[in-house]
Amino acid sequence: MINRDWPLVFKPFPLKAEKGRGAVSNLQGRYEVLGRERFDDGWTHEDEEEDGRRIVTTVHHEQAKTILSRNASPDIPFGVSLNPYRGCEHGCIYCFARPTHSYLGLSPGMDFETRLFAKVNAPELLRQELAKPSYMPEPIALGINTDAYQPCERTLGLTRRVLEVLHECRHPVGLISKSSLIERDIDLLAPMAADRLAGAAVTLTTLDPTIARTLEPRAAAPARRLRTIRTLAEAGIPVSVSIAPVIPFVTEPDLEHIVQAAFDAGACSAHYIVLRLPWEVSPLFREWLEAHFPDRAQRVMNRIQDMRGGKDYDADFATRMKGEGIWADLIRQRFEKAVARYGVQGPDRFGGLDTSQFRRPLTVPTKEKAGKHAGQLDLF
């Protein structure tokens, strides 16, 4: 018999970070049909084994229909990009690509960093695309939405195989990553760089390993990224440093030190981006702040809104990367002075890559074999 007088009230579920994960929750995506809400059902115990709560990463293999994405955004320095993976295990809480998981009916929160999708036919589709008579070469940005060198790349090798196609076709490519795994492909990148066909950008958000461990938990540590910059530069590969995002009172105090450290490691150029909070990234970032920096959470959000016209985010092309207002101007001035002081060039990234050496692939897979991720190629 049910006691109608017993109040069915659940305690609020406290925000608690999961070790090795960026998102604090599995926030509902904006296209999900069913709603969900966090609450404490009484079954969670403080003495519960941590391993028992740990969320496992899964990688789903998918057959992509297309592989090259094109954009005409005036504030993005490339027109074509290729992403071998959807979702990213690095778990960076600020990642602007998180909302794309909503299109899959999944959460931009924990799902984005634990339920990944690998485009296993990416190399074959790229070869087909480059073989088209109508294809006109321009630098391809590799790994822009999600890191092409995230942990699952060690076993799947999709990025490596994509680079082999680009190497064979003498096609220019620019890579951006937070992973030291990019060093694995120096044998391909170094000779391409010598012919102005390859460049790399390494994202360096902070020099503080404690902050990095929660902000971007499964990416390489800051010191390891600096070593990667040095290794790539010594191999003759031009390296740009992406100081992104600049987060007021969290990573912003490191700005000048990052520029200096990047210069000392051999970087040839640098650029920065102020924190962007599109769609579900905003509530996810707010949860992260409350979990890790409750003492300054409101202060951080106040400064972000100062740079976004009073909102969490403004998507206007003219201001979305750098912000606006006094704080945005101060960050810009600090960056420009640091660049001048330490001898690093301003934004360049992949502008000097050469498209004139491109040659179409001699062999291409049939559509059927490209769809089945076949290893054997047919003559065209």
CA atoms of 282 and 292, how far apart (whole Å): 15
**Percent of the chain predicted with pLDDT > 70:** 84
- Per-residue pLDDT reduced to its tens digit, 328-372: 999 999 999 999 998 877 666 666 899 999 999 987 766 655 555
Buried b (16+ CB within 10 A) or exposed e, 270-289: bbbbbbbbebbbbbbbbbbb
Strands 378-379 and 363-364, how do they pair?
A: antiparallel
8-state DSSP, 27: P
Query: Is residue 28 very low, low, confident or very high in pLDDT (cuts 50, 70, 90)?
Result: confident
Given this model, what pLDDT does residue 370 score?
58
| Rounded Cα–Cα distance for residues 258 and 252 (Å) | 10
The confidence score (pLDDT) of residue 35 equals: 62
Out of 30-44, 118-132, 288-302, pick the least confident.
Answer: 30-44
Residue 6 lies in a domain: no
Q: What is the mean pLDDT of the chain?
A: 88
Question: What is the predicted pLDDT for the residue at 372?
Answer: 53
152 domain residue, yes or no: yes
* Percent of the chain whose predicted confidence (pLDDT) is above 90: 76
- At 7, the pLDDT band (50, 70, 90 cuts) reads very low
Cα gap 23→295, rounded to integer Å: 19
For residue 133, being part of any structural domain is answered with yes
pLDDT at 254 over 80: yes
Residue 248: inside a domain: yes
Give the per-residue pLDDT at 16: 75
Give the model confidence (pLDDT) of 269-290 as tens digits. Answer: 999 999 999 999 999 999 999 9
Residue 78 falls inside a structural domain: yes
Selected residue with higher pLDDT from 312 and 45: 312
50-94 confidence digits (pLDDT tens): 444 578 999 999 999 999 999 888 878 889 999 999 999 999 999
Q: What is the CATH number of the domain that holds 194?
A: 3.80.30.30
Do the domain assignments include residue 89? no
- Strand, coil or helix: what is 198? strand
SS (H, E, C) 145-184: CCCCCCCCHHHHCHHHHHHHHHHHCCCCEEEEECCHHHHH
Q: What is the per-residue pLDDT across 288-329, written as a single tens digit (0 to 9) for each?
A: 999 999 999 999 999 999 999 999 999 999 899 999 999 999
- Answer whether residue 254 is part of any domain: yes
Within a domain: residue 44?
Answer: no
Q: Please say if the pLDDT value at position 128 is more than 50.
A: yes
User: Measured between alpha carbons, how far is 77 from 362 in angstroms, rounded to an integer?
Assistant: 30
Number of domains in the chain: 1
Q: How confident is the model at residue 226 (pLDDT cuts 50, 70, 90)?
A: very high
- At 23 the pLDDT is 95
Query: Is pLDDT above 70 for 186?
Result: yes
Q: Give me the domain span that covers residue 302.
A: 64-83+120-359
Better pLDDT: 34 or 230: 230
pTM: 0.88
Query: Distance between CA 159 and CA 88 in Å, rounded?
Result: 14
Cβ count within 10 A of residue 141 = 25
Neighbours of 306 (CB within 10 A): 16
